Amino acid sequence: VKRAARAVLAIGISAGVLAPSQSFAWEKHATLMPSVLWGLSQPLREQLKRTVSAPCRQADVEMYPVLADRLKLNKAHMVSPTIPTNCVPGDTVELTSILAGAFVDDPDMGMDENLDESHDPHGYRQWMGGKKGPTSKGFRHMYFGGWRLTKPIATFQIPIKAVGESPERVELLANTAKELIKSGNTAWGFRVLAWAIHYTQDLAQPFHAVQIPKLAMVPWYSIFKGFGNLVSETTRTIGNYHWAYEDYVKYRIELGKDSPFQECMLKAENYAAEWVLNAKLGDHRRLALAVADASVKIGAELGSAEYKFFGGQLKLPEFDLPAGQGKLDYADLSVRPDVMDGRQELHQVTCRALANGVVATRKLIEWALQP
């Protein structure tokens, strides 16, 4: 295996890039929020029942450019309305509905894409999805903490230094959210809080903190067509496993009370990593790093379980799931007896990943509600 790792390293360096092919995390973050909110303490849930003044379209349109400047977002992006229909000045909105709404998925809709060079001062994008198109947001939605001699396979990545802005983004967005809340723009404060939550939850998806969860996901045979081909093929196959994983988890979560993840999301504190549970309120960068670290800890386990579950088929040329090529039958995969072992292992490790995201989210909400 060591030889294989060295080979990837050599290939990555010679080709200059090993980019993930896409960068959603949990397919839809909004699917995690009901469990997050349900598990908050009673007093916090009461606080979230408060209604605040609702910004209508004009206020949204004026707010976004201010935030785009401050948060270095794509100014051309059109932010979704806070109140989608029939908003008139004087309307109110409940805080719970802002957090439970689709705003937690806003950061995947274009605000971090197609940015100019000044937005990427560390040059992370060359390693994390490129500078154009939907994958160009990757550098803010992932964090690969660097290769560690003590965990050479689990932390294997290219480049070997830490790359990705997620921890900084969580800190900047959470602090901006609190400033808005304190200044009386509470609805927008909670929208920006939902953005901070998004990046934190991204890091709880191990594919966002570990570049190659399992070396067997690399299509080594493609090296016969050259190094460049191996790199692009690895990008495609890792993208397939990344995508299939999120689609499968979303499919199962949407089953509601029949979801295998319901218990571990509602009682997330029983499943989350200790250092996420113990992270201090208000130190957002540390919280993000703790979540990323928890993902590294379970990354290899996830990689093995997923490979056992889906098998090697996602390396086949007919699959390019991020590009809409190839189809998996998630309903069938949910019940097939022949993949039961892989499925159980995958569920167990996913429980821990989801719990890390849920606990970290609750911490951010609790902090935001503090006076």
> Which residues of this chain interact with Zn ion, rule CB under 5 A?
25, 108, 141, 202
* Residue with the shortest CB distance to Zn ion: 141
Half-sphere exposure of 368 (CA within 13 A, CB side): 34
CA-CA distance, 310 to 212, in Å (whole number)? 16
Nearest distance in Å: CB 208, Zn ion: 8
Nearest distance in Å: CB 23, Zn ion: 6
Nearest distance in Å: CB 36, Zn ion: 16
3-state secondary structure at position 117:
helix
CA-CA distance, 208 to 246, in Å (whole number)? 12
Cβ distance to Zn ion smaller for residue 25 or 333: 25
Neighbours of 277 (CB within 10 A): 18
Cβ distance to Zn ion smaller for residue 142 or 355: 142
Nearest distance in Å: CB 245, Zn ion: 14
DSSP notation for 12-32: HHHHS----S---SSS-GGGT
Cβ distance to Zn ion smaller for residue 59 or 67: 67
Nearest distance in Å: CB 68, Zn ion: 18
Q: Are 142 and 209 in contact (CB under 8 A)?
A: yes
Nearest Cα to 197, choosing from 32, 23, 24, 66?
A: 32
Cβ distance to Zn ion smaller for residue 26 or 307: 26
Cβ distance to Zn ion smaller for residue 93 or 203: 203
Cβ distance to Zn ion smaller for residue 108 or 306: 108
Residue with tokens 């309903």: 331
Nearest distance in Å: CB 16, Zn ion: 25
DSSP notation for 230-283: HHHHHHHHHHHHHHHHHHHHHHHHTTGGG-TTHHHHHTGGGTS-HHHHTPPTT-
